[in-house]
Amino acid sequence: MTKLKITIMGCGNSAGVPTIGNFWGNCDPHEPKNRRTRPSIAVQSETTNLVVDTGPDFREQINRTNIPMIDAVVYTHGHGDHVSGIDDLRVLRFRSKKFIPIYSNKETIAELSQRFDYMFIERAAIYPKSVEPHIIDEYHHPVTVGDITFTPFEQDHGTCKSIGLRFGDFAYSTDVVRLDERALEALHGVKTWVVDAAGYNMETVTVHFALRDVLAMNKIVKAEKVYLTHMPPSMDYKTVFKELPDGFEPAYDGLILHANIK
């Protein structure tokens, strides 16, 4: 059995909290758990460091989490709040003298290679190729990086498809508005689920789960503990905490969770 340490490196929405201009919305600026960077997690075993998404706060998140080197990145999808810190992988490539493996679906790899072409090709000595792409072309099939194995599944994010990830008895579902039967099957029985709730109490949601969706989905998933992520400035930590039933909590940057892979 492989024991995993999972760090919520960021649990904010695409703008973070506070947003640019020091806007806190409904969030109490005196509550440290309201200070949120863009969504990302680190998954670590004793020998492997894997990161999910590299948003614009990636360097800060890695330094704060004190991770000296990473073995791979999994990208959930190509939106800017999940990928725009990719350039910092160049520094890790220089230090390790190795390409950084990145994993995602065909559409996301294609988008990244177009927007950040210099990361994928040899252009000049100062800008050498930095990443090694691996396309996830089959969902629900395990992928192994070092001694960490994860199972990807497809999620509907409204404007695109995102990738959900299951690591043993832990699952991560950011940027999702609908889950089909196969995704719910992939999630069924996890003990801990970190899930998008950016729709919060909105009546109409098109790209993110509302809180009512998370509650409804977990009646099927049956996770023992559910943590909300991708939270906008409308979601004050203490206010949301009080609104949630037992077993549900808002996440916060720096939260450490644990999981097991058999």
Q: pLDDT tens across 229-253, in order?
A: 999 999 999 999 999 999 999 999 9
pLDDT bucket at 140, cuts 50 / 70 / 90: very high
Q: Which of 184, 98, 178, 177 is nearest to 140 (CA)?
A: 184
Average pLDDT for residues 11-38, to the nearest whole number?
A: 98
**C-alpha closest to that of 152 among 162, 161, 139, 134:** 139
Instruction: Say if residues 189 and 181 touch (Cβ distance below 8 Å).
Output: no
pLDDT in tens, 81-130: 999 999 999 999 999 999 999 999 999 999 999 999 999 998 777 778 99
199-232 pLDDT, tens digit each: 999 988 899 999 999 999 999 999 999 999 999 9
Domain 2-138+151-261 has CATH 3.80.10.10: no
What's the predicted TM-score (pTM) here? 0.97
Domain ranges for the chain, please list them: 2-138+151-261
> Cβ(80)–Cβ(54) under 8 Å?
no
Name the band, by pLDDT with cuts 50, 70 and 90, for residue 262: confident
What is the mean pLDDT of the segment spanning 142-151? 97
Q: How far is CA 183 from CA 23, 156, 179, 192, 217, in A?
A: 36, 10, 6, 16, 11
